[in-house]
């Protein structure tokens, strides 16, 4: 299917199904129940899962395949966001020109930074990319404020020209980003018994872009080009003495992954038309590194899982407060309830960083291949149980395929 082998086709199909059904899957608990706190099926978070998934997939093309660790990838995401918002301000609220420009500008930016940074490798490369990104962030926050609107972030205004759009019917309110009449903020809510599912236009636009990005990444992984990138990671010396010029390969990978980041930035601005400087900060670059490693660097689906994992904790755990804890443990006797609340308290709300930090350590210590390895182990466990004891072949088959 689509030029993929069977295994990849199945993976793509599974991802497609998950993306389509996300509003159901992510809302397993009835609205209003105590567990509803863990529901993630609302437009903003679903969009974020997908957008950071795209960002991480792109980052993985560079890091997972070539092994070049960029610590400045958030700069491309930021540049993409700024380009998109400027398109909304100047040209049109249609997201197509905005996203196109984001990808292009991020690509050019990546070409410049990549051309310079790829003169070095290893940690020297990482620090060069970090330096470029931090310069971008610091300048965007301060002296470049006329372009970036600094601290607040670039946002839409009532008096923006938007030369392609007709004057809005209601002059007193801002228009919404849209795709040929479908506004990104439109949401259809379906109530089914105690459950409530939200279908957002914005989410499905993001999901389609994710599927396309995922498919393209898959093709790239399986292409001769992808093989060359893995060869760079594996042995650059041999690569050079095999008549292959590693620099343009690495640069192409850098630009492609920069464009993925720009795409994510453009989409982010399309879902919520504001571009803040913080999304270029080193912590944001570090976040995508963590997402990729956490999910499983060099694997196709890992980065998406890692992105979902981190964003889930950021958005769900930070919103749990003591009040909710008391509701959860209300069934217990008073004294025990208070003890339980006291025990859990440091890990929720303002303590969500702590939980995340502990999970980072646990995952990387016990699952060296990231969440994907966790999945594989569970899968193997199931298979072993199914096939019984006679078939020991599976358990010895621990050599991972390099680019799975």
Partner 1 sequence: MSNNTFTRRGVLRTGAIAGAGVALPTIFTASSAAAYTNEPMGSSVTLGFNVPQTGPYADEGADELRAYELAVEHLNGGGDGGMLNTFSSDALQGNGILGKKVEYVTGDTQTKSDAARASARSMIEKDGAIMVTGGSSSGVAIAVQGLCQEAGVIFMAGLTHSNDTTGKDKKANGFRHFFNAYMSGAALAPVLKQLYGSDRNAYHLTADYTWGWTQEESIVAATEALGWNTVNTVKTPLSATDFSSYIAPVMNSGADVLVLNHYGGNMVNSLTNAVQFGLREKVVNGKNFEIVVPLYSRLMARGAGENVKGIHGSTNWHWSLQDDASKAFVKSFGTKYGFPPSQAAHTVYCQTLLYADAAQRAGTFNPCGIAEALEGFEFDGLGNGKTLYRAADHQCFKDVLVVRGKENPQSEFDLLEVVEVTPAEQVTYEPDHPMFAGGALGECNPGS
Partner 2 sequence: MGILEVKGVNKRFGGLQALGDVNLDVAENSVHAIIGPNGAGKSTLLNCLVGKLIPDTGSVMFEGQSVLGRKPYEINQMGISRVFQTPEIFGDLTVLENMMIPCFAKRDGAFRMHAFEHSFNEKGIIEHAEAMLEDMNMADKRNEHSASMSRGDKRRLEIAMCLAQDPKLLLLDEPTAGMARADTNNTIDLLKRIKSEREITIAIIEHDMHVVFSLAERITVLAQGSPLVEDTPENIKGHPKVREAYLGEAAA
Partner 3 sequence: MDAIILQILNGLDKGSAYALIALGLTLIFGTLGVVNFAHGALFMIGAFCAVTFSKILHSSYTVIDETKTDFLGNPLKVDMTYVEKWFGNAAGGTILDWAVPLSILFAIPVMIIIGFVMERGLIKHFYTRPHADQILVTFGLAIVLQELIKYFYGANPIPTGAPEMFRGSFDFGALLGFDANTIIYPYWRLVYFVFSAVIIGAVFSFLRFTTFGMVVRAGMADRETVGLLGININKRFTLMFGMAAAVAGLAGVMYAPINSPNYHMGMDFLVLSFVVVVVGGMGSLPGAVLAGFLLGILESFASMNEIKSILPGIDQIIIYLVAIIILLTRPRGLMGRKGVMEE
Q: Which residues of this protein are in contact with partner 1, per CB under 8 A?
A: 39, 42-45, 48, 138, 141-143, 145, 149-153, 155-159, 170, 172-174, 176, 181-183, 185-193, 196, 198, 200-201, 272, 274, 276, 278-279, 314-315, 318-319, 321, 323, 349-350, 352-353
Q: Which of 12, 26, 69, 217 binds partner 3 (CB under 8 A)?
A: 69
Question: ∠ CA(376), CA(379), CA(380), 5° rounding?
Answer: 85
Q: Which of residues 385-404 bind partner 2 (CB under 8 A)?
A: 399, 402
Looking at 45, 56, 128, 325, which residue binds partner 3 (CB under 8 A)? Answer: 128
Stretch that binds partner 3, among 28-36, 221-229, 251-259, 284-292 (CB under 8 A): 284-292
Cβ distance 118 to 125 under 8 Å? yes
Rounded Cα distance, 141 and 75, in Å = 13
SS3 68: coil
CB of 168 to partner 1, least distance (A): 11
* Helix, strand, or coil (residue 197): strand
Site string for partner 2, 245-284 (x = CB under 8 A): xx-xx--x---x----------------------------
**CB-based burial label for 245 (10 Å; 0-12, 13-18, 19+):** exposed
First to last CA, the chain: 18
Tokens of 1: 């299917």
Which one of partner 2, partner 3, partner 1, none is in contact with 189 (Cβ closer than 5 to 8 A by kind)? partner 1
Assess contact for 43 and 187: CB atoms under 8 A.
yes
Q: How far apart are CA 379 and CA 19, in angstroms?
A: 21
Distance CA 315, CA 311 (A): 6
Binding flag, residue 7, partner 3 (CB under 8 A): no
- Min dist. Cβ of residue 257 to partner 2 (A): 12
Structure tokens at 89: 């301000």
Closer by beta carbon to partner 2, 233 or else 345: 233
Residues in touch with partner 3 (CB under 8 A): 63, 67, 69, 116, 119-124, 127-128, 130-132, 134-135, 138-139, 141-143, 282-283, 286, 289-290, 293-294, 297, 346, 351, 353-354, 356-361, 364-365, 368
């Amino acid at each position: 299917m689509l030029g993929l082998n069977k295994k990849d086709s199945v993976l793509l199909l599974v991802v497609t199904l998950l993306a389509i059904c996300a509003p159901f899957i992510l809302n397993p608990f009835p609205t209003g129940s105590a567990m509803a706190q863990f529901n993630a099926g609302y437009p903003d978070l679903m969009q974020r899962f997908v957008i950071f998934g795209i960002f991480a997939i792109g980052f993985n093309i560079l890091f997972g395949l070539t092994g070049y660790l960029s610590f400045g990838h958030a700069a491309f995401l930021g540049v993409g966001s700024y380009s998109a918002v400027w398109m909304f301000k100047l040209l049109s609220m249609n997201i197509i020109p905005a996203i196109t420009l984001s990808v292009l500008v991020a690509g050019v930016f990546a070409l410049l930074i990549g051309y310079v940074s790829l003169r070095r490798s290893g940690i020297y490369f990482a620090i060069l990319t970090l330096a470029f990104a931090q310069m971008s962030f610091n300048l965007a926050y301060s002296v470049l404020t006329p372009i970036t609107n600094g601290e607040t972030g670039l946002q839409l205004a009532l008096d923006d020209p938007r030369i392609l759009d007709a004057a809005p019917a209601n002059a007193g309110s801002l228009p919404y980003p849209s795709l040929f009449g479908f506004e990104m903020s439109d949401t259809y809510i379906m109530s089914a018994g105690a459950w409530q599912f939200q279908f957002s236009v914005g989410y499905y636009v993001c999901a389609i872009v994710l599927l396309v990005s995922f498919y393209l990444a898959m093709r790239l992984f399986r292409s001769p080009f992808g093989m060359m990138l893995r060869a760079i990671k594996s042995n650059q010396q041999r690569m050079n003495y095999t008549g292959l010029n590693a620099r343009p390969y690495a640069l192409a990978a850098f630009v492609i992954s920069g464009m993925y980041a720009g795409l994510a930035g453009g989409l982010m601005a399309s879902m919520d038309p504001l571009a803040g400087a913080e999304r270029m900060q080193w912590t944001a670059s570090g976040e995508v590194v963590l997402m990729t490693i956490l999910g499983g660097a060099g694997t196709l689906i890992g980065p998406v899982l890692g992105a979902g994992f981190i964003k889930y904790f950021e958005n769900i755990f930070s919103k749990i407060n003591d009040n909710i804890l008391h509701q959860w443990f209300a069934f217990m006797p008073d004294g025990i309830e208070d003890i339980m609340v006291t025990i859990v308290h440091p890990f929720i709300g303002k303590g969500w960083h702590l939980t995340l930090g502990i999970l980072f350590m646990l995952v990387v210590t016990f699952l060296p291949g990231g969440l994907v390895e966790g999945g594989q182990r569970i899968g193997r466990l199931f298979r072993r149980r199914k096939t019984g004891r006679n078939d020991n072949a599976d358990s010895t088959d621990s050599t991972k395929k390099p680019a799975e």
